[in-house]
Structure 1
Amino acid sequence: MMIDYDVVKNWIFEDVRYDYAERDVMLYALGIGLGQDPLDKGQLRYVYEDGLQVMPTMAAIMGAPGAWWKDPRTGADALRLVHGEQHLRFHRPMPARGSMRVSNRVLSLSDKGAGKGAIGVVLREIRDAETGELHAESRNVSVLRGDGGFSTAHGRTDPPPAPLPPIPQRSADSVLELPTLTQGALIYRLSGDYNPLHADPAVADKAGFARPILHGLVAYGMAAHAVLRDALGYDSIRLRSLGLRFTAPVYPGETLQFELWRESAALVRLRGRVRERDVVAIDNGVVEIDPRTD
């Protein structure tokens, strides 16, 4: 079986209407670890209905296309697929209750060569269902480890996405730690990702893990939390974009140690390391922020 470039590149996704309310907003925030300090007013903005704000990274779960790579028409080896990178660009804050119209399309499909895998990029737009205003754009980069070489048969491939720049060589400007919850994956899955890899020990064992692992998008949301806490005083309106690369799994209950570099008033670089195992789980993070200080 081999990836069919034309089928994948022209895959048709139906638009999705994503309705949510305050409970969904709070549940998502709790799932990525906000609210662990119930006296922290900054965290309470995202987990308490009085003045509730939406954590911007919630856009990453809105209208996701699901496990479409498993469809045999793609020709992909979905069992060897990993979430390589996640990018979000934020255009305007989301209301605490709303309806979004979400569209997905395959942006690119790149052949790295036989034995080297392939890279698929899906672009998602999250718009207000009534006004059509764009709230956020998502780019999901999937690494298809078992699907390199398809262009030999089909003669077509796209240029690979531009790599994220390396982390600065100098010492980080700040370091902070955010613990994950031992039950974190079980809470987060209630926001819509029910992959048993994150809940069932038997499934995790078959996949080669000692126990269920944390969702990658939990670590992604925690990276945003680290930026809000360290650089923005929990003012999420100033967060403009966040892109990063996933490099290792995180187990529920472990602590992520985030290193942040302030490259300018509008640019922060970021890396996340699992403290207990001294393993980099998040790398090459690029964060754009509104530089205003008022």
Structure 2
Amino acid sequence: MMIDPIIQSYDKRDTIIFALGLGYGADPLNEGELPFVYEKDLRCLPAYANILCHPGFWAQDPAFGIDWVKILHAEQDLVMHSPLPAVGAVRGEYRVAGIEDKGEGRGALLHQVKQLYDEADDTHLATVRSTLFLRGNGGEGGFGDSMPVAAPVPDRAPDRVVEIATLPRQALIYRLSGDWNPLHADPAIARKAGFDRPILHGLCTKGLANRAILSAYCDNDVTRFKSMFVRFSKPVMPGETIRIEFFEEGEGQLRFRAIAVERDIVVLDRCSATVA
């Protein structure tokens, strides 16, 4: 299955709204975060590549036979080939790389790949690979490629810890950047999916980890951020504090996990990142 290429233009307002959706600007005196929320010397976060040229909620199309209410984001891999421009136009080229059928009643994993290009000069900006867990499907057959199984994080104390508090309205801000799945806004839809309230977007949680990596290991220099993989192990509830635990493994190589502090539960697991 192919998805038609999508071209998206974004301006300084869009770039800033995305950063606000990740909680940037909570401390108005933090000058290290100012370039992400202030148009002077504006920087675009690498995590924005995850949702730029979003194909829309195509899984709602009955032709695909997907129980869309029960979809959960399972994994996301981001490789940056060149920094995102602060403002501009980008092109997303998509393909569904494969489906892993877990069997009837056990669900299926759908792997989708996006290549992101600068529309101005065709610079290859990023490769994004997403894995969706189709909880309401399974037993219908599979095809194509799958992602390699990620290794557990080291069994030792972390080398560095970063905590980021989220807002109860965090999902409502984050969705303004283009992920309109009603699971993150409508309590009735959330209940149908088995949650007692709307949950935070998985990519928002990943964006929080991106924010932590930039501040802790890149001095907020986006050119030093190279890649990032996460596995979404549990949903995050807006308003929770997220603790990101980093394990340093050689030059520029990081492993990490994220924990929802209030519930003491791992929400991102088996994660990795590369920085310069």
Give the TM interval when normalised to the shorter protein: over 0.9
Letter in 1 for 2:214: L
Matched, 1:93 2:93: no
CA distance in 2: counterparts of 1:75 and 1:57, whole angstroms: 30
Q: Which residue does 1:5 correspond to in 2?
A: none
1:60 to 50, 56, 67: 50
TM-score (normalizing by structure 1): 0.90
How far 1:266 sits from its partner (Å)? 1.8
Q: Give distance in 1, aligned partners of 2:224 and 2:37.
A: 19
Structure 2 gap segments, 5+ residues each: none
Overall identity of the aligned pairs, in %: 41
Query: Which amino acid counterpart does residue 203 of structure 1 have in structure 2?
Result: I
Aligned pairs, number? 276
Deviates more, 1:44-53 or 1:199-208: 199-208
Q: Name the aligned partner's letter for residue 162 of structure 1.
A: P
- Mapping of 1:117-266 within 5 angstroms? 117-151=107-141, 157-158=143-144, 160-266=146-252
Q: TM-score scaled to structure 2, two decimals?
A: 0.95
| 2:104 aligns with one of 114, 120, 131 | 114
Query: Larger radius of gyration, structure 1 or 2?
Result: 1
Question: In the superposition, relative to structure 1, how do residues 110 and 237 fare at CA in structure 2: closer, same or farther (>3 Å)?
Answer: same
State yes or no: 1:19 paired with 2:19.
no
Match of 1:37 among 27, 32, 39: 27
Separation of aligned partners in 1, 2:189 and 2:70 = 15
Amino acid at match of 1:37: D
Shift of 1:159: 5.0
How far, CA to CA, are the matches of 1:134 and 1:254 in structure 2?
Answer: 36
Is the CA contact 1:111–1:158 (under 8 Å) kept in the aligned structure 2? no
Give the whole-Å Cα distance in 2 for the aligned partners of 1:72 and 1:124: 23
Structural RMSD (CA): 1.4
**Cα displacement (A) at 1:264:** 1.2
Structure 1, gaps ≥5 residues long? 1-10
Separation in structure 2 between the aligned mates of residue 200 and residue 148 of structure 1, nearest angstrom? 26
